[in-house]
Amino acid sequence: MQRAQADGAYEMWKEVLRRADVQWIHDEVKASGLRGRGGANFPTAIKWESLPDNGLPRHLVINGDEGEPSTFKDRVLLEGDPHALVEGVCIEAYRIGSHRAFIYLRGEFALGADRVQQAINEARAAGFVGTNILGSGFDLEIVVHRGAGAYICGEESALIESLEGKRGMPRIKPPLPIHVGLYSQPTVVNNVETVCTITHILKMGGAEYAKLGVNRSTGTRLAAISGHVKQPGVYELEFGMTLRDIIFGIAGGIRDDKQLKFFLPGGASFQWLINSDEHLDQVYDIDDISAKLGTTLGSGAIMVYDQDTDPLLVAWRLAKFYAHESCGKCTPCREGSGWIEKVLYRMSHGLGRPNDMDALLDISAGISPDVMKAPFTQTTICPLGPSPVSAVASLQKWFRAEVEAACGTEAQA
């Protein structure tokens, strides 16, 4: 606590209480252009504007589920700077008028949970959390809740179900959680990094923050870079860099000086890119990469694979994860993810059949009718269903010939 405070922790929270000006917080965050860092990229201030004024209590829920393969940036904040999260929670709760905030952490984050709980205890002892905070009349309780390790509980409505003590399955939307959320009351769900960023925006000023980045992708974000790079890790990136700068500059290039084969610029759930000038010169910009290359930046994971990697094995391993994590509430995901996994298993283990790639596309169309299009269309309740379809579409787009060679189409023809 002392070290965090020496670094300025809770100074902005004190300033917020001193100013007692909710509109100021709102205006600065809106001017900053901050978009949620949990993967859906929704503008944070616009979410706040959607809160109904219906007299019901409002809840703030912090999403620290972080269950997606290769996404590990929130963990760094939870374990390394828990007071930054607690301060961000205080400020956001104040903005939306919530007196009870929940920090939902994936079950495996034992260390993070301990550190965040300790930070809350220390903040309470110092008077930054609790009743009548610093004499302001504002009350706030923060509850840490550990999930049981289901990926679907990162989806905001499934998370809310889980918080309510039910089995984590997504709700059918509408209504959105902002209108009917936790305990059927208005609820703002935000990612850990989003919440931590709010304090910095108030310190810098929203307009100043918006000068960082590019277009509607303002500011910086934490990126978790993994795979066959020389320097994997979590990096704070400014939007607007090229993917080449990120992979070959920041992450040091491909280990053992091998060639890059392909990479997943938005992590496990979204379409892949390959070693081409067009893809490497693409700017790290949420909307631009989607418009030009049909993929997105997700929750900030970048997975990199070298020349020796079998894309079928990668696709199968990802599909296995999604099939395992499908909650089973809707049929296309429950059945389709399992079928995709089974077909990819045989394709990646030398048992592929000549029409397997077409079978994959056919199964995928039951989940995402326009399979090759991204952002994907979906027949499922939530976007978990289309996630393995991204791998299928990527195989079709970039590796069809390699897949056919592996599965014997040419031999049979």
Ligand X SMILES: Cc1cc2nc3c(=O)[nH]c(=O)nc-3n(C[C@H](O)[C@H](O)[C@H](O)COP(=O)(O)O)c2cc1C
Name the residue type at position 324: H
Pick the piece of the chain touching ligand X (CB under 6 A) from 117-125, 188-196, 353-361, 395-403: 188-196
Dihedrals φ, ψ of 283, to 5°?
A: -80, 145
155 binds ligand X (CB under 6 A): yes
329 interacts with ligand X by CB under 6 A: no
- Interface residue with ligand X, options 66, 87, 122, 341 (CB under 6 A): 66
Two tokens, residue 292: 């030009």
Closest CA to 123 of 167, 91, 169, 159: 91
| Contact between 152 and ligand X per CB under 6 A | yes
Separation between Cα atoms, residue 397 and residue 374, nearest integer Å: 12
Nearer to ligand X, 191 or 282 (CB): 191
Note whether 189 binds ligand X by CB under 6 A: yes
Q: Which is nearer to ligand X, 7 or 164 (CB)?
A: 164
Question: CB-wise, 270 or 399, nearer to ligand X?
Answer: 270
Q: Does the protein bind ligand X through residue 167 (CB under 6 A)?
A: no
Please identify, using beta-carbon distances, which residue of 152 and 357 lies nearer to ligand X: 152
Q: Does 383 bind ligand X (CB under 6 A)?
A: yes
Q: How far is residue 220's CA from residue 237's CA, in Å, rounded to a whole number?
A: 5
Instruction: Report the residue from 37, 95, 221, 261 that binds ligand X according to the rule CB under 6 A.
Output: 37
194 near ligand X (CB under 6 A): yes
Question: Is beta strand 141-146 parallel, antiparallel or unpaired with respect to 98-105?
Answer: parallel
Residue count (the chain): 413
Neighbouring CB atoms inside 10 A of 134's CB total 15
Q: Any contact of residue 191 with ligand X (CB under 6 A)?
A: yes
Q: Does 67 bind ligand X (CB under 6 A)?
A: yes
Binds ligand X (CB under 6 A): choice among 154, 186, 267, 385: 154
Binding footprint of ligand X, residue count (CB under 6 A): 21
Measured between its terminal Cα atoms, the distance across the chain in Å is 69
Peptide bond into 265 cis (omega under 30): no
Can residue 219 be called a binding residue for ligand X (CB under 6 A)? no
Euclidean distance between CA atoms 54 and 9, whole angstroms: 34
Closest CA to 208 of 362, 26, 200, 354: 200
**Residue from 22, 40, 283, 361 binding ligand X (CB under 6 A):** 40
Residues contributing to the site for ligand X (CB under 6 A) = 36-40, 42, 63, 65-67, 152, 154-156, 189-191, 194, 382-384
